[in-house]
A and B are shown apart, each in its own frame.
Chain A
């Protein structure tokens, strides 16, 4: 290549280079334009996500008090050792390292792993909860040895009365993935992003909305090492409302303990306003174990126990009402103008169906002789009610019972209340595909048929007899901190005053001389109106019922409904003692302890 030629090529190619460099700079500036102008919003968000963290603040859960401000569900401070969810830990090694200070058991590790597997949104999970003061001090002093383990103070729910209020107050549990789905479906998830627990059963569940509160949050700015630079915003949480229950915890204790080791249920209602004063389901369990997940063995022990401690018998236990149904069947007859006084029968001790197809015995051999309706209630005469039932018919019996909330929900402020059962032709056809027999109507009238009731239904119906003007649902909430008194109207069944008076008087006579619970009327300053009942658990198929020699679990259930004082009713209740044998003798004394306390307390 010659000099002149070289110069020409050089200049030409210099031009090419100039153009290329200029183009490259233009491409670069277009790229900046795209990032800085077009995608500005995207990267602006990215930049703030980079450095701004939102820290949820859990609201304190509202406390639950009894009607006299005694704490039933409290919040206690506890110290936990917690591990960061995102990090990997060798748990056995960790347990070994912690042993001189805090003992980590296999149980703790299992619990930790269970929570880790199911927990949807925590950043730390506890490896050990409820540290003692000594453990806290030892850990704090040696903190430098335990990198990655955090000592965290949390509020922990504590049920001071444990078994005594287990079904009533219920318990909270750890929010799991299924809960999250439900919360999202109900648009409530926003309220739970800071929470680890929510109400699962009892009052904790039915008043969850009131007790839970609203979460707050803190926005902090962090650097690349996750160190806090500054707090940008703090929105404090709104704590849940404290609530007072209608329960009198002293009365609850007395009622609970009165069962001794017997199974059963007791509900006591203030007849003037539907407030539930005692709500007992025996046996109970310690709900404190359920808060962070009960271990498998303990759970299966509770769940498989024959005594069914997890069952809330008050609203979910279904029992044949036995003779406690008689006052309501009698009222049904009176309201339908059937068998009104001075109608009497002569009871020979048995009842034969008009067509002669079947004979039913009275509980008393040889019969009660001549009885009218009041006497029939007082002595619990079966023969009187067989005939009455047949004449009234299943349809009218059920209609009237339904008015007293049998066979349907009473509307108590608890979740999962059961309706019980009022059986009739259609039901039997549907269930067994068999016709309805007249005899079934006859035994329904004495409470032994297919009919099933909850203790709550019995107690509420009794309250409606004691006070026919009771116009409130049975309820447990007295008031909440931020809301007015509980008011939930439910009109009582319409009833003729004369008819109700007859039933009231007859029930009062039950505890007088000659009544089935006459022993309760002795040495007492006030009068109790009551009705005893016995519900067969086991069909003896013609054999004699011998209470002494029957195995415990096959013994009849004892039932007892009552209110007091008889002349000026204040409190009504229903007691069921499972396998308690005859109603008056086992269930009656339990009821009397409740009445004694309550009447004395209120000077009635």
Chain B
């Protein structure tokens, strides 16, 4: 069968690192799981689905990706639209689609399909990239941004636009336009502040002094910082996270799972995990530099940015330097869509790397 081929195609180094991170996340989830082992079992199923799909992507002809890119992008836009009208509401935001047998978050999917569309767009116009192409790229980003922003899911919306802007940047947007856009952004920031929901404004404000509203919007930040800080150098040990098992830490299995990890394993655990993530990043970056064609490069870089902006926003959020915006930690947080999409993303990078010469021709 394809097993032998699969074994050869997999990047062993990258796959090993990812398995370690996933295992750490699973262990942390097990200690914070108040529902017996239901979450752990469900997460293991998510991982198995994710890895299976990753393998499928690796064995797939990467050219199909190029071919299907616009359809996938448009399909995910429809899913977002569907969420806006019929979405399943939870925690005051409509983010989920409930198909009965499974719930999933289209905003996680769009993190993958937007870079895909952008890669398709730049590859299509390869060798003739003008300002017009960059403006079109901006449009490709703006549509999903708006649809996610009204859910409202500020975190994911900002992430998509960051990823998109990085893609435009590496695609060669001239420096003067970057400078002009930056100045425009600064000038319009008061207006942008005005269109934020009051609770979003409050979240940003409490960032500067979380203790000013310790029981209100600062609560999550404070409890998370307490979890981190009380972990100290070596942590309280696995299963001893009082902030978690006494329920002080909110969302301890999803967005705040790394706070649990920090409380249990301390600063040494945190540094180890960050080094693992950086190794994944550098390995992927190395793979991107070896790629020959515009589509592969831009798609891989976009996917990579999605993962690592997720990492930075999530860690910034739990350590109190960024507002609470509800972005999961890739490969670590509990959550099916996020896990499956992250694993597929890694699979795409692997297959693009494996087929770099093939695609180039």
Contact = CB atoms under 8 A, between A and B. Distances in A.
Interface of A: 1-3, 5-6, 9-11, 13-14, 17-18, 21-22, 24-25, 28-29, 31-33, 35-37, 39-40, 42-44, 46-47, 50-51, 221-225, 229
Contacts of B233: 36-37, 40
A366 B268 CA distance: 111
Nearest to B263: A47
A44 to B, nearest CB: 5
Interface residues on B, range: 35 or more
Contacts of A42: 229
B169 interface: yes
Interface stretch (B22-30, B193-201, B242-250): B242-250
A25 B277 contact: yes
B246 A50 contact: yes
7 closest A-B pairs by beta carbon, nearest first, are A43-B229, A47-B230, A224-B247, A223-B246, A36-B267, A13-B170, A40-B232
A7 to B, nearest CB: 9
Main secondary structure of the interface of B (DSSP, over half): helix
B246 A229 contact: yes
Contact of B285 (A10, A18, A225): A18
Given A3-B126, A22-B278, A13 B230 contact: no
A19 B273 CA distance: 19
Contacts of A44: 229-230, 232
Contacts of A28: 274, 312, 315-316, 319, 321
A113 B246 CA distance: 35
A32 B262 contact: yes
Interface string B258-295: 00001000110011001001100110010011000010
B267 A50 contact: no
A9 B169 CA distance: 10
A282 to B, nearest CB: 57
Contacts of A50: 223, 226, 242-243, 246, 248
A11 B312 CA distance: 23
23 contacts: A3-B126, A9-B170, A10-B171, A14-B301, A17-B170, A17-B301, A28-B321, A29-B274, A31-B319, A32-B267, A32-B319, A36-B231, A36-B267, A40-B229, A40-B230, A43-B229, A46-B229, A47-B243, A50-B226, A221-B242, A221-B246, A224-B247, A229-B246
A25 B229 contact: no
Nearest to A11: B289
Contacts of A13: 169-170, 172
B100 interface: no
Nearest to B170: A13
Contacts, number: 131
Interface of B: 126-130, 166, 169-172, 223, 225-233, 242-243, 245-248, 262, 266-267, 270-271, 274, 277-278, 281-282, 285, 288-289, 294, 297, 301, 305, 308, 311-312, 315-316, 319-321
Contact of A36 (B228, B278, B294): B228
B127 A3 contact: yes
Nearest to A221: B246
Of A18, A33, A36, which is in contact with the most chain B CB atoms at under 10 Å from its CB? A36
A6 B278 contact: no
Contact of B246 (A9, A24, A43, A224): A224
Contacts of B281: 21-22, 25
A1 B172 contact: yes
A6 B294 contact: yes
Given A2-B127, A6-B127, A25-B277, A51 B248 contact: yes
Given A21-B308, A25-B278, A28-B316, A35 B229 contact: yes
Contacts of B247: 223-225
A591 B354 CA distance: 118
A76 to B, nearest CB: 39
A109 to B, nearest CB: 29
Given A35-B320, A47-B230, 20 more contacts: A1-B130, A1-B172, A6-B172, A6-B294, A13-B170, A17-B166, A21-B308, A22-B281, A25-B278, A25-B281, A29-B270, A36-B228, A36-B232, A36-B270, A43-B226, A43-B229, A47-B227, A50-B226, A221-B246, A222-B246
